[in-house]
């Protein structure tokens, strides 16, 4: 019994020493979820958090901000459906070699709904991309594929 207790204490102490060298850190949550109920209605909603990134090095400086994405499923006594959006993103950069540039992407939307009265309906609005750079000598129209 004495050997078992000594072995257990040494094992737990070894785990404590190994754990003290760990670089693990708590992660920031991606988003949050809500559930709503009222009478016969039910909604489940997910909201992602916004994203902000920047990059600094000798060749360029850039920033990026993306708005939160969103999805929602709902059900009532009369219909059922879902709504989903993608992120909108704005980013820009400045470089002494390539000049400046800005990218903007609108969010995309898609939704569907079913009810016994109206049937099944869908709607989709794809995201749009806008580009303005000095490298390409001005504004590039939406939908233009850059080389």
Unique residue bearing structure tokens 């999805």: 71
Question: In this predicted model, what pLDDT tens digit does every residue of 26-78 receive, in sequence order?
Answer: 555 667 777 888 887 888 888 888 888 888 888 888 898 988 888 889 998 88
Q: What is the CA radius of gyration of the chain?
A: 26
**For the whole prediction, is pTM greater than 0.75?**
no
Distance in angstroms (rounded) separating the CA atoms of residues 70 and 82: 11
Distance, in Å, from the CA atom of 29 to the CA atom of 49, rounded to the nearest integer, reads 8
| pLDDT per position as a tens digit, 86-103 | 888 888 888 877 778 888
101 in Cβ contact with 135 (< 8 Å): yes
- For the stretch 112-133, pLDDT in tens is 999 999 899 999 988 888 877 6
């Amino acid at each position: 019994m004495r050997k078992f207790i000594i072995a257990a204490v040494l094992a737990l102490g070894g785990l404590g020493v190994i754990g003290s060298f760990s670089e693990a850190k708590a992660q920031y949550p991606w988003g949050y979820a809500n559930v709503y109920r009222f009478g016969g209605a039910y909604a489940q909603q997910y909201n992602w958090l916004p994203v902000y990134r920047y990059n600094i090095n000798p060749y360029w400086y850039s920033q990026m901000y993306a708005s939160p994405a969103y999805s929602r499923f709902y059900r009532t006594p009369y219909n059922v459906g879902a709504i989903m959006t993608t992120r909108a993103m704005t980013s820009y950069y400045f470089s002494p070699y390539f000049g400046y540039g800005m990218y903007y992407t609108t969010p995309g939307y898609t939704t569907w709904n079913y009810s016994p009265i109206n049937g099944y309906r869908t709607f989709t609005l794809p995201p749009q991309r806008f580009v303005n750079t000095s490298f390409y000598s001005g504004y590039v129209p939406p939908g233009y594929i850059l080389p």
